[in-house]
Amino acid sequence: MSGVIVDTDCIIDFFNNYPETASIVERLIKAKLIHISILSIYELYCGAKTKHQHFDIEKISSVSKIEYIDEKIAKEGAFLYQTYRKNGFTLSTVDCLIMATAKVNNLTILTRNLKHYPEKELIYVKDFSES
């Protein structure tokens, strides 16, 4: 495995010490396998209301490999969006791009939002309860 891209929901769980998620994220940090999409960084800053929350984002960013969107990822994300839309599933742009990032960069995705990521072979942890 080349790494795990951690979805925004799991980063928030980590910040809030949600036991199951926090332990997985801690293991990924120690193993230097943690990746975060620049889109998750954006979502985290959108929701951050305090200096402490900004500090937490900076701290997790400093120990993670930040994944940026390039043309290959943009094309793959658009393909995923169109493919699933034709099959009756409307996925968000952010989720399509995170899923594309995982596919292009040979990563798996740590998330509790399993409905957001229909490419099940990309899911790192399959036993989270839906939230």
Over residues 80-123, the pLDDT tens digits come to 999 999 999 999 999 999 999 999 999 999 998 888 888 888 88
- At residue 42, the 3 state secondary structure works out as helix
Residues 6+ apart with CB under 8 A from 70: none
pLDDT classification of 1: cutoffs 50, 70, 90: low
Query: What is the reported pLDDT for 66?
Result: 98
Residues 6+ apart with CB under 8 A from 65: 3, 34, 35, 36
The span from the CA of 32 to the CA of 3, in Å, is: 8
Helices (H), 16-117: 19-30, 38-47, 51-62, 71-86, 93-104
Higher per-residue confidence, 8 vs 128: 8
Are the CB atoms for 102 and 72 separated by under 8 Å?
A: no
The residue assigned the tokens 């790494």 is: 3
% of residues, the chain, pLDDT over 70: 94
Q: What is the pLDDT of residues 56-83, one digit of tens each?
A: 999 999 999 999 999 999 999 999 999 9
Q: How far is residue 68 from each of residues 32, 41, 49, 107, 131, measured CA to CA in Å?
A: 18, 10, 24, 13, 27
Classified by CATH at the fold level, domain 4-122 comes out as: Rossmann fold (3.40.50)
Per-domain residue ranges of the chain? 4-122
Is the confidence at residue 130, as pLDDT, over 70?
no
Higher per-residue confidence, 85 vs 20: 85
